[in-house]
Every structure is written in structure tokens, then in C-alpha cells.
Structure 1
């Protein structure tokens, strides 16, 4: 039987706790950074306490944990001023049996034809890696990105993505890649991950919107020697196609679970990408009580 550990991301369900407190760029000063960072740090541990109580095994830290840390106007010496707080946090973090991951936004594009975009993307990823390193998070603390755009030539765009990662091999320490809902399907992204030797994060909702032929056993093979495989699960919300719902439809979970079970994997982590976070997970767990998995 496959063991499943669940995760939530960035905030709690009502948004009162968040690791993404920030401010407007025009107000960038160390004092404003420090104020937002301390609030994020405080809420981070409150969220970890929530995860511990609710038996949630994975938490995705917000990318704004240190606001504007990858921006050119963020001064190098500010990192030094924050380091002791992160070192102290790394000691506290040892008390929590919770996997910490990160997922920078869509502006991280490693296959852009523009060198400036690549440079900015690498700087953003350096920041994410630095945060996880400073918090003492091991290699299980992955950083998830999408492939990027097509730019009129799918094959050349894939090649650029792979070349830019091979040029910056430090990325392979934590980097994982995820299928998206429009451009690069699971089969394409799996092939990219296999060629690069990095893990593939399978997003079930994106797979439904942008389907391809795939077996999860192949996906899980990219994780051999690299920790517990991580997946994403959400259900459709209102509004534009691709919007995430507040909760998870039980049928969506059961369909994904069947795919997982057929793969013979022993353990997986599923990030619940529903807006109500821990409330969505609580509702899903209750709905599964009568179900024999």
C-alpha cells in the first residue's frame, strides 16, 4: 500500500498566517524588508505548528519570505544582516518533521530568448536556494519551476531550457520541473527531466487540462535516490480555465490515487493546491473515511 503525506503552501486557509508578507518596491529599504521578513518568519513557525497538529508533512515556503531579495536594488549587505535570524530559525526547524519546499513564480523562465530574463531568473533561483540552505534544509527541499514559453519554436525552447541548466549545474542540487496547463505537457516535461537527471513534479490538474500519455512509474523513477516523490493536486475553480478551487473534489483525488497505486510506489507527497489549504485537506480526509483505499 502506498503511504501518502500531504502538504499545504504559503499561508493557511483564511490567509491570516502567511509567509508572503511584502510591500511596494518603491518603498524598498532594509527596515521595510526586515519588518516583512520578521512577520513572515513568525508566521512560518505558526504555520509549521499548524502542520504538526494536522499531520501535514510538507510546507511550501512563500517566495516573498524575504521581499525583493533577488532584485538589483536589494543590497548585498542586507543578506548578512538577516543571516543570524535564519541560522536561529534553522535550529528551531529541527523540531519539525516537515519537508520545506519552494516554488518561484512564473517570471522565472530559463528558456527565454532574452539574456536579461535568464539572468534575472538565475538570480531569483539563487535567492531560493540560499534561503533553503540558510534554513538548514536538506536536498529534499526542492525548488519547482515550469519549463517556460514556446516562443514560436518548441524544440529550440526546450533546448534553451536544458542548455541553461547544464551551464549552471548548481541548479541540479534542488531544481525540479513541473508540467503546465497550456504549453508543456507531462510527457514532454518528463522527457526533459530524464535528460537532465532532475526530478519531475507531476501536477494532476495541469495534466487534465493539457493531457498526454504517461505512467506514474516513469515519473517516480526520476526521484530514485532523490527523496520522496512530490506531486500537486487541485480541482477546478470558478472563473478562467486553470483556476484552482477552494477545495479538492474527492473524485479527483481517487483518480490520482489509482494512478499512484498502479505504479507500485511506496510513498509520495501530495501538495494540496486548494485555496482553503488545511481546511481543504480536512474536508478531503473526511470524505475519504468511508472509502477503502
Structure 2
């Protein structure tokens, strides 16, 4: 059986993969011409860094990469199209960076910030969440990544107790979002039992996170039988099942610690046949290297 593809999340602990940004307050004091010049410099540099991330992953045999959700600050500002115009100018560079991942056979995902709450009970939050999510989907489009869950766009369930609202609105999302969308369980609002029906009703895949599940349910560790049961339940939402992604992390000071450890000391047996595993560890590439060398504890 082929070893799982362990995924690098956004950055490295070393200097190899880092991205630049700008704060809203700093951006707002700039003139229109200064804004355009600043974003052109910043965006061009970040696109070049994305292309270097492809080379970094390819050189280390990393076949899964989570693209940073903060590559293009100010891109989703309401009433300001400066960022979009700058990305139009950088279209050839964006396509080249995306092509670097495809030529290397590296799958690319995106996981926007948790402030995106599509099922909020506040209309203004729903509008801003949709605008931000659409900007992320447009980013994937501009890199030339597929509008399928191969290039997953991942969210948490959002506002607790509003799973039915979330399931009902997903079919009306723009295709660039809907065709890539997946949902992940969290430690508070949406455990697997709450999230699975949403995924099944909306026809989107379920990304299972064993650490979130253990913390939320107060389980002794990730070897609890329910972990394997949820891996299999989640797999049934993936089409094809060979595209299934799970998240792997360990608690810093034990299974109930929400904080992520530096390396992965324990891979649950429940993950033994999962093909794609995103590693959420503070050690980033060092944690992946240990897993790929087989120095992590499996089971």
C-alpha cells in the first residue's frame, strides 16, 4: 500500500516559505497610486514565494500543500478593486506558479480563516463571509487549480446550531466555491455527529480531525474506536474516496491539550489507510520529515 501523502501547512519553521502582508490601517493611509504600487510589490513577491514553495515541496517529496489564505491582503475589500486589478496584471506569474505545483504532482488546498461564518444569524457577517470566501476561490482560479475537491476549499461549520441553514445555502454558492467546498469538525460547535448530516445533505466532503474530536468529546486519546468509525463515515462523503483528506495533530501536553505539538509523536491506527493527511504541527516541515522517515510513532 502506498504511504500517505503528508501535507505541509502554509509556512516553514525555516526561512524557505514566508509571505509578506500589510495591515488595513497602513493600507488606508496610502493614496490610490501608492496602494496600487504597494500591492503590486507585495503580491508579486508572494506569488514568487508560492512558486518557490512548489520547488521546496517537490525537492522533499511533499505531495500535499496548504496554500496560505493571506497571500493577497486587501483583495476582498468591499468597494476597492485595487487588489483585483493588480492580480489581473500578474496573471502570467499566477498561472506559472500554479503550473509548478501541477507539474510536480502536488495537490493544493486552502483553508480560510475561522471568521468566515456563512450561516451566521447576522446578515452583514454572512455577506462579508461570502465575499471573503469567493475571493479565496478566485485565488485558486487564478492559479489555475481545478474547481473540484482535489483543490479543496475548507471551512468549519460556523455558527453552532445552524447546520440546517448551512446545508441549505451551500447549493446556492458560486460554482468556484461550491465545487471545491469541504467541511471540518471543530472543538466546540460542530463535532462529527453534527457535521456529517450537513455534508451528506449538501453533497460536500467531510474532513475529519481526530484531535478536535478527542478534545470536544473528552476522549482518552486518538485510539478511541470512534476515531476509526468517523474516518470511515467521512470517507463515504468523498467522491472519489481516494481523495479523502484528514487532519493530523497531537496535543502539546497530552491528548486533551488544544495546542499543537512541535512534532507528531502519535499517528492513530485509524489513519493507516487514509491517502492524504494534512499535518498541523508547529514543527511544520520538520514534523513532515520525521513522519516521512518513519520516526513518528504509528499506532
TM beyond 0.5? yes
CA RMSD of aligned residues (A): 2.5
Counterpart in the other structure of 2:248: 233
Q: Secondary structure at the match of 2:276?
A: strand
Count of residues in Structure 1 that have an aligned counterpart in Structure 2: 277
Cα distance, 1:12 vs structure 2: 1.1
Q: Please give the alpha-carbon distance, in whole angstroms, between the structure 1 residues aligned to 2:206 and 2:105.
A: 23
Contact 1:182 1:209 in 2 (8 A): no
After TM superposition, give the deviation of residue 233 of structure 1 in Å. 0.6
- Is residue 239 of structure 2 the alignment partner of residue 224 of structure 1? yes
Contact 2:97/2:143 (<8 A) preserved? yes
- What pairs with 1:71-82 in structure 2 (closer than 5 Å)? 71-75=77-81, 76-82=84-90
State the 1:289 CA deviation. 7.8
Gap regions ≥5 residues in structure 1:
none
Q: 1:93 to 1:280 in 2, by over 3 A?
A: closer
Give the Å deviation of 1:184: 0.8
Q: Residue 86 of structure 1 aligns with which residue?
A: 94
Match of 1:281 in 2: 288
Matches for 1:1-293 after TM superposition, within 5 Å = 1=1, 3-18=3-18, 20-28=19-27, 29-75=35-81, 76-138=84-146, 139=148, 140-150=150-160, 154=161, 157-168=162-173, 170=175, 171-211=177-217, 213=226, 214-225=229-240, 228-237=243-252, 241-249=257-265, 251=266, 253=267, 255=268, 258-261=269-272, 268-288=275-295
Contact 1:244-1:274 at 8 Å conserved across structures: yes
| Per-residue CA distance 1:175-233 (angstroms, 9 max, x = gap) | 00000012210222122111111011111211111239443222111112376111111
- Give the unaligned 5+ runs of structure 2: 28-34, 220-225
CA contact (8 A) 2:54 2:100 kept: no
User: Is the contact made by 1:205 and 1:235 (CA closer than 8 Å) also made in structure 2?
Assistant: yes
Contact between 2:21 and 2:42, CA under 8 Å: does it hold in 1? yes
